[in-house]
Amino acid sequence: MKKALIIGAGGFVGGYLAECLQNEFDMEVHATKLPNTETQEDLSFLEGRIYGLDILNKEDIVDLLYTVRPDYIIHLAAQSSVSVAWKRPSLTIDVNIKGSVNLMDAVRELYYKPRVLLVGSGEEYGHILEGETPISEDTKLRPGNIYAATKACQNMIGTIYSKAYDMEIMLIRAFNHVGPGQSPIFVVSDFCKQVAEIEKGLREPVMYVGNLAARRDFTDVRDVARAYGLLLLNGRAGETYNVGSGSAVEIRAILDMIIGMSTADIEVKVDPNKIRPVDVPVIEADITKINRETGWKPSIPLRQTIEEILNYWREQIGGKSDE
């Protein structure tokens, strides 16, 4: 049985990916998280195969790789919030750039060549010009925020490592992915949590929102996990792949969908604190390349995902779920 090591499995995607690789791809899954921290998702099914790791300590990465000897490595560890990146740019640079270089250097020292996925973001494309949507992997990068810049840098360095050192590295630009259990610092989960709290009477019936005109490409996290698995098996070294739905949706439409699922009478107000210093109007993926090379395309409808996120928050706060 092939072994997969998920670096940074303590976040939102980690649990979904571990379960997908184990159940759908028949892999023995190992995972890391930051030492002395709780995982966001339930990883109890990996008992005995979860390791504390700080990716800023390269020697610890080397030791772990020799312990596990993975066939596949998926690098999820990142400071992944755009809003946090504006507030803590140095931390974001350290984790997203220095951490990924530490991992690549550790892999380079091995006596064999595991296949590695470096997970980046659709935010790397940044300011999209007219006629550039949907965005292909060859589109010029114009990062519009600090998080995006760090991920663009990771992608460029990963591409160089793959070619210069003959490493099996595949690069991913993952667009917005959503699902039950995601932190409310992200927009869809934030909206659903607010609605669930309103339904429970825990807050006034007012939704506080940021920029509703932005259009984003949303994919269910379970579809994203399946894409990563297929790229581990079929991706080409040194190549970058978009992972998204292929369709941009206005944030306002997301909000309307969520409010429409609630029986509460809700007012919408703009919160200046939720407006980013710089925002990109439209982000939409061209997923032709990954579909052509792996056969992957998303299968879970956005409405189903949103309903499941809303019900997740209803359960979390003890609210009722409309059946």
In a domain, 288, yes or no: no
321 band by pLDDT with thresholds 50, 70 and 90: very low
CA dist 116 and 6 (Å) reads 10
Locate 222 and state its tokens. Answer: 């379970």
Same domain, 69 and 126: yes
In a domain, 230, yes or no: yes
Pairing label, strands 219-220, 177-178: parallel
Pairing label, strands 3-7, 28-33: parallel
The residues, any chain, with a CB within 8 Å of residue 160's CB and separated by 6 or more, are none
Same domain, 93 and 73: yes
Please identify which residue in the block is written with the tokens 């700080």: 54
Per cent of the chain over pLDDT 90 is 78
Same domain, 79 and 207: no
Flag whether pLDDT at 22 surpasses 90. yes
Flag whether pLDDT at 154 surpasses 50. yes
Helix (H, G, I), strand (E, B) or coil at 94: helix
What pLDDT score does 322 carry? Answer: 47
In a domain, 310, yes or no: yes
Flag whether pLDDT at 152 surpasses 80. yes
Same domain, 127 and 270: no
What pLDDT score does 271 carry? Answer: 83
Flag whether pLDDT at 147 surpasses 90. yes
Q: How many CB atoms are closer than 10 A to CB 121?
A: 25
In a domain, 308, yes or no: yes
In a domain, 293, yes or no: no
In a domain, 25, yes or no: yes
What pLDDT score does 46 carry? Answer: 86
Same domain, 151 and 264: no
Same domain, 195 and 256: yes
Contact in structure between 240 and 173 (CB atoms under 8 Å): yes
Same domain, 24 and 149: yes
In a domain, 134, yes or no: yes
168 band by pLDDT with thresholds 50, 70 and 90: very high
Same domain, 165 and 269: no
277 preceded by cis ω (within 30°)? no
Flag whether pLDDT at 40 surpasses 60. no
Locate 22 and state its tokens. Answer: 């184990």
Flag whether pLDDT at 319 surpasses 50. no
Locate 202 and state its tokens. Answer: 């825990």
Same domain, 54 and 164: yes
In a domain, 197, yes or no: yes
Q: What is the CATH number of the domain that holds 203?
A: 3.90.25.10
The number of domains in the chain is: 2
- Helices 58-68 and 99-108 cross at an angle (nearest 10°) of 50
The residue range of the domain holding 61 is 3-177+219-243
Range 113-126 average pLDDT: 94
Same domain, 194 and 262: yes
> In this predicted model, what pLDDT tens digit does every residue of 122-141 receive, in sequence order?
889 988 888 898 999 999 99
Same domain, 15 and 107: yes
Query: What string of DSSP letters covers 283-302?
Result: --B--HHHHHHH-----S-H
Does the predicted model carry a pTM greater than 0.85?
Answer: yes
CA dist 234 and 216 (Å) reads 27
What pLDDT score does 309 carry? Answer: 98
Same domain, 61 and 28: yes
Mean pLDDT across the chain, nearest whole number?
92
> In this predicted model, what pLDDT tens digit does every residue of 52-77 receive, in sequence order?
999 999 999 999 999 999 999 999 99
